[in-house]
A and B are shown apart, each in its own frame.
Chain A
Amino acid sequence: MATRPQIAAEKKKKIEITNKTRHPYQTNNATKLSHKVREIEIEREREMGSLLGDWPSFDPHNFSQLRPADPTAQPSKLTPVTYHPTHNRTIPPPNQVITTESKNILLRQFYQKSEEQLRPKTKRAASESLMPEHSCKQPRGLNSDA
């Protein structure tokens, strides 16, 4: 059983504490006075427009540090960090449309072999093979990123 001066001291302490920062897990003492103090605090927070509104919570002070978001600030309008390419080797052609190839791979192989078979073989076939197969590839530039 606490004495009267002790209780009064506690009450003062409580009022002081509410004005300072509180740890979310700091629990109140289970006394009737502290309950009343708590009610006053809850009301004060409600007037402030707590972020959680009227939702029940274990400890109403838990989210007291959070201020409701400024309605004018819209995080979705934040522009993300943009990257600018240092070269233009990987830009797609302007009219490129990507679709699924309608012929399956087996048919593509058949057509490819057929083209090889029907292409007239000339004596210059040896020199043809010296041409690079992947003529679409470009050599790496000096300033390419490592």
Chain B
Amino acid sequence: MFRSNNLTARIFERQILTPRPGTSINLFRHFYENVCPSHTVHDIDCPDLSFRKFTDDGQFLIGFSRNHQDLVVYRPSWLNYSCKGECPYSLDLPPKARRFDSFFRHLFTISLASANEFICKDFFLYVDPYRFGLFATSTAQVNDNAASADGAIHGVPSIEKITFHLVRLDDGVVLDEKAFYNDFVNLAHSTGAFLYDDLLCIVSLRYQTIHILQIRESGNLVEVRRIGPYCQEDDELFLQSHAQVSPGSSFLPGIKQRLLSFIFRKTWNEEADQSMRVQHLKKKFYFHFQDYVDLIIWKAQFLDRHHLLIKFGSVDGGVSRNTDQGLSFFAVYNMETTEVVTFYQNSSEEMYSFFERFYDFFNSVSRNTLHAQYISSHKNNSHALNQLLNIKSKSGSFSQFVKKMMLTIPYTCQSHSPSPYFDLSLFRYDDKLISAIDRHRHSTEHPIKFISLRQPNVVKFKIKPGAEGGGPDGGRAKKVSSFLFHPYLPLVLSIQQTYMQPTVVNLHFKR
């Protein structure tokens, strides 16, 4: 802990201080209390792109063209200028500071989508060790409710072609592509895919399959496994050579069989009395059998290299993003042994206790990625834990509270910004106005304040998303703003979109 809040004193102290073991990074992150984005350039003159995010290692800024067909990548750098003679601090910044390319260097623009395809601008995953980016293009969505013969289920729309592109971000070379035809993957905010180290899992909702792909260093996307109709690699071969059944008949999909057998064994063992077992089974299992069979996979994530956490639910809840707290189930599936390890309902208190005690393990990343380990959550931060416990005590019904909390798992990969300005042990900020999760928010006229935790009366910096004078219409129109924080530089882009008006981009940085 630094003894003083002054930057110079802290630098001197750093020369002699030995932090406690394993906490050196936590201690030196306190320097971000002194280095804040204090200056704003309003309405910077930037190209008309929709900026997506900074990559988690801070090397690239990803943007898409307005027609959703091109990918534009910039490298963030910093303004530098010189002045003659003495440079007083109060000197105004040169006009160079108002230019976008003083801060960002254009690397390349490539076209990812062909004529009738569009880049899904919500989807982006960064493969950290190799500096690859994963993007998705898709054709238009067709709400085709008829189940086709090849195993697609009812109720899920279909997209003619979804392509995942693996692009090397250093130079813009498209390394590999993987296409899915007449399928549906939930691309919004990268919910349908999860990246763990070099393993990628893509949930195909229409065919109820989880595709496990490996990203090789050479840039190839290699399909490792396909879980859904079949669990082991040779299941399909075995069934076709032995079973005299026509496809699409009475065999349930492989993963469903594993799930049902687990539920059966669990229900069987719940009743101690042997004579009552069959009765218990009828009540608990066979009565709901068809409901269990009708469950579909909504979302999946990796818990480690061999285990998946799969969320099951009813057909109508899988596609829509409604926050209806209906019934859903979680299953932990081991890919190597093809066993279902556990199965819980979303209102289960046991599952909630895991959520409260081990939340950081749901945000699973391998130990190699350093920046993701400093994302604040209620598990690693006492202030966040207090907030959670407050909500818990204020909520009327515990099971409603549990269901609401369970909406956040399975975790969406790379959805939290690793910027230290969101670190709850350093700053306090209004969660409704701005947070680490990159979603659009309704913008307010008031600036968003970041208050230092140690000095509760001191506002360290403010971000005012609007234009300088409040906008030409006086701020009456509804505005949506989004914020892009650089992972380690004091550099923030705030993008404000107003209906029927040009987008305003502000740049906040430290002078």
Residues of A at the B interface (CB closer than 8 Å) are 102-107, 109-111, 113-114, 117-123, 125
Q: Which 3 A-B pairs have the closest CB atoms?
A: A106-B361, A106-B358, A121-B272
Subset of 17 A-B contacts with CB under 8 Å:
A104-B303, A104-B361, A105-B361, A106-B303, A106-B358, A106-B362, A107-B304, A107-B307, A110-B341, A114-B341, A118-B269, A119-B269, A121-B269, A121-B271, A123-B272, A123-B273, A125-B272
Known: A103-B304, A104-B304, A105-B358. A110 touches B269 (CB 8 A): no
The docked-state distance in angstroms from the alpha carbon of A105 to that of B357 is: 10
The docked-state distance in angstroms from the alpha carbon of A105 to that of B304 is: 11
Interchain CB contact (< 8 A) of A111 among B269, B273, B341, B361? B341
Instruction: List residues of chain B with CB within 8 A of the CB of A113.
Output: 342, 350
Known: A104-B304, A114-B341, A117-B342. A109 touches B358 (CB 8 A): yes
Q: Does B354 contact A (CB under 8 A)?
A: yes
CB A126 to nearest CB in B, in angstroms, measures: 10
Interchain CB contact (< 8 A) of A109 among B268, B307, B354? B354
| 0 or 1 for each of B272-290: is its CB under 8 Å from A? (1 = yes) | 1100000000000000000
Of chain A, the residue at the smallest CB distance from B269 is: A120
Q: Is the interface of B mostly helix, strand, loop or mixed?
A: mixed
Interchain CB contact (< 8 A) of B266 among A111, A117, A123? A117
Of chain B, the residue at the smallest CB distance from A104 is: B361
CB A23 to nearest CB in B, in angstroms, measures: 34
Q: Does B270 contact A (CB under 8 A)?
A: yes
| Further pairs besides A105-B361, A111-B342, A118-B266: 6, Cβ < 8 Å | A102-B304, A104-B361, A107-B303, A107-B361, A109-B358, A118-B269
Of chain A, the residue at the smallest CB distance from B270 is: A121
Of chain B, the residue at the smallest CB distance from A117 is: B266
* A110:B361 contact, CB within 8 angstroms: no
CB A129 to nearest CB in B, in angstroms, measures: 13
| 0 or 1 for each of B305-318: is its CB under 8 Å from A? (1 = yes) | 00100000000000
CB B219 to nearest CB in A, in angstroms, measures: 28
B side interface size, CB within 8 A = 20
Interchain CB contact (< 8 A) of A114 among B268, B272, B342? B342
The docked-state distance in angstroms from the alpha carbon of A64 to that of B362 is: 68
Q: Does B265 contact A (CB under 8 A)?
A: yes
Of chain B, the residue at the smallest CB distance from A112 is: B342
Instruction: List residues of chain A with CB within 8 A of the CB of B271.
Output: 121
Instruction: List residues of chain B with CB within 8 A of the CB of A119.
Output: 269
Which residues of B from 245 to 276 have beta carbons under 8 Å from A? 265-266, 268-273
CB A119 to nearest CB in B, in angstroms, measures: 7
Of chain B, the residue at the smallest CB distance from A116 is: B269
CB B140 to nearest CB in A, in angstroms, measures: 40
Instruction: List residues of chain A with CB within 8 A of the CB of B354.
Output: 106, 109-110
Interchain CB contact (< 8 A) of B269 among A102, A106, A117, A123? A117
Which residues of B from 452 to 488 have beta carbons under 8 Å from A? none
Interchain CB contact (< 8 A) of B272 among A110, A118, A122? A122
CB B363 to nearest CB in A, in angstroms, measures: 11
CB B354 to nearest CB in A, in angstroms, measures: 6
From A102, A110, A125, residue with most partner B Cβ within 10 Å: A110
Of chain B, the residue at the smallest CB distance from A120 is: B269
CB B414 to nearest CB in A, in angstroms, measures: 19
Q: Does B127 contact A (CB under 8 A)?
A: no
Q: Does B136 contact A (CB under 8 A)?
A: no
CB B332 to nearest CB in A, in angstroms, measures: 5
Instruction: List residues of chain A with CB within 8 A of the CB of B350.
Output: 113
Which residues of B from 335 to 359 have beta carbons under 8 Å from A? 341-342, 350, 354, 358
CB A52 to nearest CB in B, in angstroms, measures: 30
Of chain A, the residue at the smallest CB distance from B305 is: A102
Instruction: List residues of chain B with CB within 8 A of the CB of A120.
Output: 268-269
| 0 or 1 for each of B116-155: is its CB under 8 Å from A? (1 = yes) | 0000000000000000000000000000000000000000
The docked-state distance in angstroms from the alpha carbon of A109 to that of B361 is: 12
CB B111 to nearest CB in A, in angstroms, measures: 42
Instruction: List residues of chain A with CB within 8 A of the CB of B303.
Output: 104, 106-107
The docked-state distance in angstroms from the alpha carbon of A71 to that of B271 is: 81
The docked-state distance in angstroms from the alpha carbon of A119 to that of B361 is: 26
The docked-state distance in angstroms from the alpha carbon of A106 to that of B304 is: 10
The docked-state distance in angstroms from the alpha carbon of A105 to that of B265 is: 25
Interchain CB contact (< 8 A) of A110 among B266, B268, B342, B364? B342
The docked-state distance in angstroms from the alpha carbon of A111 to that of B271 is: 20
The docked-state distance in angstroms from the alpha carbon of A107 to that of B307 is: 8
The docked-state distance in angstroms from the alpha carbon of A118 to that of B364 is: 27
CB A100 to nearest CB in B, in angstroms, measures: 10
Instruction: List residues of chain A with CB within 8 A of the CB of B268.
Output: 120
The docked-state distance in angstroms from the alpha carbon of A117 to that of B361 is: 22
The docked-state distance in angstroms from the alpha carbon of A104 to that of B304 is: 8
Of chain B, the residue at the smallest CB distance from A106 is: B361
Instruction: List residues of chain A with CB within 8 A of the CB of B364.
Output: 104
Instruction: List residues of chain B with CB within 8 A of the CB of A111.
Output: 341-342
Instruction: List residues of chain B with CB within 8 A of the CB of A102.
Output: 304
CB A12 to nearest CB in B, in angstroms, measures: 52
The docked-state distance in angstroms from the alpha carbon of A122 to that of B270 is: 9
